[in-house]
């Protein structure tokens, strides 16, 4: 099967700063590719290349087998790549259903806003994802952080995304809300989307992930299929792997 996204040897520089160097990964339909790393690892730069915000300087970027270089996020969206950023593009005082459409609201044949249709479509789209809100007329700002993330995921699915890029969707959430968001990430995967999950938390990535790309200072520490690594090793790799072992060895020697 042709990958939805294939990045090979991707590099990106900003002046003399190397943000990415020789980074490769794939995103397949019905799978979650997790990109892990601490702050400054290059995660944001990578998703901005995939989402059409920035163009890569080196390497090859393919979408459904076609080599491509996006010039804008709109081009990426037109190819089915939707990105949900950590700060979420929502209007807090606007209703859930208006935020669901945000400029693409349904209209009557006379050109007026069709509120009834908009509410019905929103309610059904959320229900199809297993999201049960009390009232789609309530301001989106009254929802929890997890619920807002879920609305954004359902919106991307409804508008035909093939690839869903999620930028740290669980970063500011408690354990329960993070679990809710991860459930909907798994739902999007099971509906056949390719998902790119950006996170610094291996314990959030591992339950839903199929593939794990570890970044550090713009370079790949490793890329693993789920069958090749467990959560303990994933955590160890993120904590520094060989560097951590060398430090522990040095400390043991000092104690002796």
Would residue 11 count as lying in a domain?
yes
**CATH for 81:** 3.40.50.300
11, 32, 173, 184, 249 from 238: Cα distances, Å:
21, 18, 21, 25, 18
- What local confidence, expressed as pLDDT, does residue 128 receive? 83
- Total domain count for the chain? 1
CA distance 105 to 114: 8
CB–CB of 210/33 below 8 Å?
yes
- Residue 81 placed within a domain: yes
d(CA 250, CA 162) in angstroms, rounded, equals 48
Does a structural domain hold residue 76?
Answer: yes
Tokens 């069958």, residue?
A: 227
Which pLDDT score is estimated for 209? 95
Residue 68 within any structural domain of the chain:
yes
- Let me know if residue 115 belongs to a domain: no
For residue 247, what pLDDT is reported?
47
List per-block mean pLDDT (blocks of 10 residues) for the chain, which spans 256 residues: 93 91 94 92 92 93 94 92 81 90 86 91 87 86 85 88 92 85 91 94 94 93 92 87 52 59
Give the per-residue pLDDT at 132. 80
C-alpha distances (whole Å) from 242 to each of 20, 46, 202, 234, 249 are 22, 25, 18, 13, 10
Q: Judge whether 180 lies within some domain.
A: yes
In a domain? residue 141: no
- What range does the domain containing 76 cover? 5-88+161-255
Q: Nearest 5 degrees, angle CA 55-CA 192-CA 105? A: 70
Give me the pLDDT at residue 253, please: 61
Residue 135 · residue 160 · CB < 8 Å: no
Please check whether residue 137 lies inside any domain of the structure.
no
């Amino acid at each position: 099967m042709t990958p939805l996204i294939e990045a090979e040897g991707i590099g990106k520089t900003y002046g003399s700063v190397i943000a990415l160097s020789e980074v490769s990964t794939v995103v397949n339909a019905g799978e979650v590719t997790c990109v892990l790393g601490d702050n400054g690892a290059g995660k944001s730069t990578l998703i901005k290349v995939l989402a059409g915000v920035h163009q890569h300087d080196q390497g090859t970027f393919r979408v459904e087998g076609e080599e491509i270089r996006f010039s804008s996020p709109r081009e990426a969206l037109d190819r089915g790549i939707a990105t949900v950023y950590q700060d979420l593009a929502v209007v807090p005082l606007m209703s859930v259903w208006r935020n669901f459409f945000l400029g693409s609201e349904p209209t009557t044949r006379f050109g007026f806003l069709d509120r009834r249709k908009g509410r019905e479509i929103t309610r059904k789209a959320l229900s199809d994802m297993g999201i049960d809100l009390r009232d789609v007329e309530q301001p989106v700002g009254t929802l929890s952080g997890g619920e807002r993330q879920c609305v954004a995921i359902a919106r991307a699915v409804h508008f035909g995304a093939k690839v869903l890029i999620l930028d740290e969707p669980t970063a500011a959430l408690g354990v329960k809300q993070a679990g809710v968001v991860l459930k909907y990430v798994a739902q999007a995967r099971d509906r056949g989307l390719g998902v790119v999950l950006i996170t610094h938390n291996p314990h959030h990535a591992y339950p839903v992930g199929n593939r794990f790309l570890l970044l550090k200072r713009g370079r790949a520490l490793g890329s693993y299929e789920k069958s090749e690594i467990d959560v303990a090793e994933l955590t160890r790799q993120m904590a520094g792997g060989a560097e951590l072992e060398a430090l522990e060895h040095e400390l043991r020697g000092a104690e002796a």
